Structure 1
Amino acid sequence: MQVEEEPAQASSAITLGDLQTEITAPVGAELYYAYPDHASVGYGAVFEVEDPQIIQHLRTDVAFEQSKADRAGKTGADKATGTFVFKAVAPGTTGLRITRKFRGETEYEAAFTITVVEP
Protein backbone atom coordinates (compact mmCIF):
# COMPACT_ATOMS: atom_id res chain seq x y z
CA MET A 1 0.00 0.00 0.00
CA GLN A 2 1.33 3.43 -0.96
CA VAL A 3 0.91 6.35 1.38
CA GLU A 4 0.84 9.83 -0.07
CA GLU A 5 2.88 12.32 1.84
CA GLU A 6 1.77 15.85 2.45
CA PRO A 7 3.96 18.28 0.51
CA ALA A 8 6.41 20.08 2.75
CA GLN A 9 5.34 23.64 3.38
CA ALA A 10 8.00 26.25 2.99
CA SER A 11 8.11 28.59 5.93
CA SER A 12 7.33 32.21 5.15
CA ALA A 13 10.01 34.88 5.17
CA ILE A 14 8.84 38.37 6.08
CA THR A 15 11.06 41.43 5.80
CA LEU A 16 10.16 44.13 8.31
CA GLY A 17 10.38 47.65 6.92
CA ASP A 18 10.54 50.95 8.76
CA LEU A 19 7.24 52.15 7.25
CA GLN A 20 5.30 49.12 8.49
CA THR A 21 3.67 49.04 11.89
CA GLU A 22 1.31 46.05 11.81
CA ILE A 23 2.39 42.62 10.58
CA THR A 24 0.47 39.35 10.31
CA ALA A 25 2.60 36.22 10.11
CA PRO A 26 1.80 32.51 10.13
CA VAL A 27 3.26 30.25 12.80
CA GLY A 28 6.67 29.14 11.55
CA ALA A 29 7.41 32.32 9.60
CA GLU A 30 10.78 34.01 9.96
CA LEU A 31 10.86 37.79 10.29
CA TYR A 32 13.92 39.80 9.26
CA TYR A 33 14.93 43.34 10.21
CA ALA A 34 18.13 44.77 8.64
CA TYR A 35 20.04 47.71 10.11
CA PRO A 36 23.41 49.47 9.62
CA ASP A 37 26.11 47.94 11.81
CA HIS A 38 29.49 49.65 12.12
CA ALA A 39 30.69 49.07 15.67
CA SER A 40 33.97 50.99 15.37
CA VAL A 41 32.01 54.11 14.40
CA GLY A 42 29.19 53.52 16.88
CA TYR A 43 26.32 52.22 14.72
CA GLY A 44 24.28 49.26 15.92
CA ALA A 45 20.83 48.22 17.07
CA VAL A 46 18.99 46.50 19.91
CA PHE A 47 15.55 44.90 20.05
CA GLU A 48 12.85 44.18 22.60
CA VAL A 49 10.17 41.50 22.17
CA GLU A 50 7.15 42.01 24.44
CA ASP A 51 6.11 38.34 24.49
CA PRO A 52 8.80 35.81 23.55
CA GLN A 53 6.16 33.05 23.68
CA ILE A 54 4.77 34.47 20.39
CA ILE A 55 7.94 35.47 18.52
CA GLN A 56 11.47 34.47 19.43
CA HIS A 57 14.84 35.86 18.43
CA LEU A 58 16.66 33.14 16.48
CA ARG A 59 19.93 34.87 15.65
CA THR A 60 21.61 38.04 14.47
CA ASP A 61 23.34 37.80 11.10
CA VAL A 62 26.14 40.18 10.14
CA ALA A 63 27.20 40.70 6.51
CA PHE A 64 30.44 42.68 6.31
CA GLU A 65 31.09 44.89 3.29
CA GLN A 66 34.69 43.68 3.10
CA SER A 67 36.03 40.13 3.24
CA LYS A 68 37.68 38.86 6.40
CA ALA A 69 41.07 39.08 4.66
CA ASP A 70 40.44 42.70 3.63
CA ARG A 71 39.37 43.61 7.20
CA ALA A 72 42.37 41.97 8.88
CA GLY A 73 44.42 44.49 10.83
CA LYS A 74 42.43 47.50 9.65
CA THR A 75 40.75 49.78 12.14
CA GLY A 76 37.24 50.77 11.08
CA ALA A 77 36.91 48.08 8.42
CA ASP A 78 33.92 46.53 10.18
CA LYS A 79 31.12 48.26 8.24
CA ALA A 80 28.29 45.77 7.83
CA THR A 81 24.58 45.15 7.66
CA GLY A 82 23.14 43.43 10.71
CA THR A 83 19.93 41.45 10.46
CA PHE A 84 17.82 40.37 13.42
CA VAL A 85 16.03 37.10 12.65
CA PHE A 86 12.88 36.21 14.61
CA LYS A 87 10.54 33.23 14.39
CA ALA A 88 6.76 33.24 14.84
CA VAL A 89 6.25 30.37 17.28
CA ALA A 90 2.67 30.60 18.60
CA PRO A 91 -0.60 32.37 17.77
CA GLY A 92 -1.16 35.71 19.46
CA THR A 93 -0.23 39.37 19.26
CA THR A 94 2.95 40.95 20.58
CA GLY A 95 5.05 44.04 20.17
CA LEU A 96 8.55 44.28 18.74
CA ARG A 97 10.66 47.39 19.17
CA ILE A 98 13.90 47.93 17.29
CA THR A 99 16.16 50.79 18.37
CA ARG A 100 18.97 51.82 16.05
CA LYS A 101 21.81 53.44 17.97
CA PHE A 102 24.63 55.79 17.13
CA ARG A 103 27.32 56.07 19.80
CA GLY A 104 24.93 54.88 22.49
CA GLU A 105 22.16 57.33 21.64
CA THR A 106 18.86 56.43 19.99
CA GLU A 107 19.00 57.41 16.34
CA TYR A 108 15.78 55.75 15.18
CA GLU A 109 13.09 53.58 16.70
CA ALA A 110 10.68 51.25 14.91
CA ALA A 111 7.71 49.67 16.68
CA PHE A 112 5.78 46.76 15.24
CA THR A 113 2.60 45.01 16.34
CA ILE A 114 2.94 41.42 15.18
CA THR A 115 -0.03 39.07 15.04
CA VAL A 116 0.85 35.42 14.60
CA VAL A 117 -1.86 33.17 13.16
CA GLU A 118 -2.21 29.46 12.42
CA PRO A 119 -1.22 28.76 8.80
Structure 2
Amino acid sequence: MNKQRKIIVTHALPYANAPLHLGHILESVQTDIWVRFQKQIGNECLFFCADDTHGTPVMLKANEMGIKPEVLVKKVREDHMKTYKIYNIDFTNYHSTHSEENKEISEKIYNAA
Protein backbone atom coordinates (compact mmCIF):
# COMPACT_ATOMS: atom_id res chain seq x y z
CA MET A 1 0.00 0.00 0.00
CA ASN A 2 1.30 3.46 -0.89
CA LYS A 3 1.96 6.03 1.80
CA GLN A 4 -0.41 9.00 1.85
CA ARG A 5 1.13 12.07 0.22
CA LYS A 6 0.73 15.58 1.59
CA ILE A 7 0.33 17.96 -1.34
CA ILE A 8 -0.08 21.73 -1.58
CA VAL A 9 -1.45 23.02 -4.88
CA THR A 10 -1.99 26.44 -6.37
CA HIS A 11 -2.20 27.95 -9.83
CA ALA A 12 -1.49 31.33 -11.36
CA LEU A 13 -3.04 34.08 -9.27
CA PRO A 14 -5.55 36.20 -11.20
CA TYR A 15 -5.03 39.95 -11.05
CA ALA A 16 -7.63 41.81 -9.01
CA ASN A 17 -8.36 44.28 -11.80
CA ALA A 18 -11.18 42.63 -13.76
CA PRO A 19 -13.65 39.74 -13.81
CA LEU A 20 -12.26 36.26 -14.41
CA HIS A 21 -12.04 35.20 -18.05
CA LEU A 22 -12.26 31.78 -19.68
CA GLY A 23 -8.52 31.14 -19.26
CA HIS A 24 -8.78 31.64 -15.50
CA ILE A 25 -11.78 29.32 -15.31
CA LEU A 26 -10.10 26.65 -17.44
CA GLU A 27 -7.01 26.61 -15.24
CA SER A 28 -9.11 26.55 -12.07
CA VAL A 29 -11.32 23.69 -13.28
CA GLN A 30 -8.31 21.63 -14.38
CA THR A 31 -6.56 22.18 -11.05
CA ASP A 32 -9.72 21.44 -9.07
CA ILE A 33 -10.18 18.14 -10.94
CA TRP A 34 -6.60 17.11 -10.13
CA VAL A 35 -7.01 18.07 -6.45
CA ARG A 36 -10.26 16.10 -6.18
CA PHE A 37 -8.56 13.08 -7.78
CA GLN A 38 -5.70 13.25 -5.28
CA LYS A 39 -8.18 13.29 -2.41
CA GLN A 40 -10.12 10.36 -3.89
CA ILE A 41 -7.01 8.20 -4.00
CA GLY A 42 -6.28 8.98 -0.35
CA ASN A 43 -3.82 11.86 -0.47
CA GLU A 44 -4.11 14.96 1.67
CA CYS A 45 -4.31 17.79 -0.83
CA LEU A 46 -4.68 21.48 0.00
CA PHE A 47 -5.71 23.89 -2.75
CA PHE A 48 -4.77 27.53 -2.21
CA CYS A 49 -5.15 30.56 -4.41
CA ALA A 50 -5.57 34.32 -4.09
CA ASP A 51 -6.23 37.48 -5.99
CA ASP A 52 -2.96 39.13 -7.02
CA THR A 53 -3.49 42.66 -5.79
CA HIS A 54 0.01 43.98 -6.42
CA GLY A 55 1.13 45.57 -9.63
CA THR A 56 0.39 48.08 -12.30
CA PRO A 57 -2.84 46.51 -13.68
CA VAL A 58 -4.63 47.00 -10.36
CA MET A 59 -3.32 50.54 -9.92
CA LEU A 60 -4.26 51.57 -13.47
CA LYS A 61 -7.77 50.10 -13.30
CA ALA A 62 -8.48 51.76 -9.94
CA ASN A 63 -7.20 55.06 -11.31
CA GLU A 64 -9.39 54.68 -14.42
CA MET A 65 -12.42 54.06 -12.19
CA GLY A 66 -11.56 56.94 -9.86
CA ILE A 67 -11.38 54.73 -6.78
CA LYS A 68 -8.66 53.56 -4.40
CA PRO A 69 -6.95 50.25 -5.26
CA GLU A 70 -8.23 48.75 -1.98
CA VAL A 71 -11.83 49.44 -3.03
CA LEU A 72 -11.24 47.82 -6.43
CA VAL A 73 -9.58 44.81 -4.80
CA LYS A 74 -12.60 44.26 -2.53
CA LYS A 75 -15.10 44.53 -5.41
CA VAL A 76 -13.12 42.21 -7.67
CA ARG A 77 -12.62 39.64 -4.88
CA GLU A 78 -16.38 39.44 -4.36
CA ASP A 79 -16.88 38.96 -8.11
CA HIS A 80 -14.15 36.31 -8.32
CA MET A 81 -15.62 34.38 -5.37
CA LYS A 82 -19.09 34.37 -6.99
CA THR A 83 -17.62 33.12 -10.27
CA TYR A 84 -15.64 30.34 -8.61
CA LYS A 85 -18.77 29.26 -6.74
CA ILE A 86 -20.72 29.05 -10.03
CA TYR A 87 -18.07 26.67 -11.38
CA ASN A 88 -17.91 24.72 -8.09
CA ILE A 89 -14.19 25.35 -7.60
CA ASP A 90 -13.36 24.05 -4.13
CA PHE A 91 -10.39 25.95 -2.69
CA THR A 92 -9.10 25.05 0.75
CA ASN A 93 -8.46 28.78 1.12
CA TYR A 94 -8.86 31.68 -1.30
CA HIS A 95 -7.39 34.94 -0.12
CA SER A 96 -5.57 38.04 -1.32
CA THR A 97 -1.97 39.13 -1.61
CA HIS A 98 -3.20 42.32 0.11
CA SER A 99 -3.73 40.80 3.54
CA GLU A 100 -2.02 40.92 6.89
CA GLU A 101 -1.47 37.15 6.74
CA ASN A 102 0.33 37.42 3.42
CA LYS A 103 2.48 40.28 4.69
CA GLU A 104 3.41 38.42 7.87
CA ILE A 105 4.25 35.14 6.14
CA SER A 106 6.19 36.88 3.34
CA GLU A 107 8.27 38.77 5.90
CA LYS A 108 9.02 35.56 7.82
CA ILE A 109 10.19 33.81 4.65
CA TYR A 110 12.27 36.79 3.53
CA ASN A 111 13.87 37.26 6.95
CA ALA A 112 14.67 33.55 7.22
CA ALA A 113 16.75 33.67 4.02
Compute the TM-score of the two structures, normalised by the length of structure 2.
0.33
Higher radius of gyration, 1 or 2 = 1
Q: TM-score, normalized by length of structure 1?
A: 0.32
Q: Between Structure 1 and Structure 2, which shows a larger proportion of strand residues?
A: 1
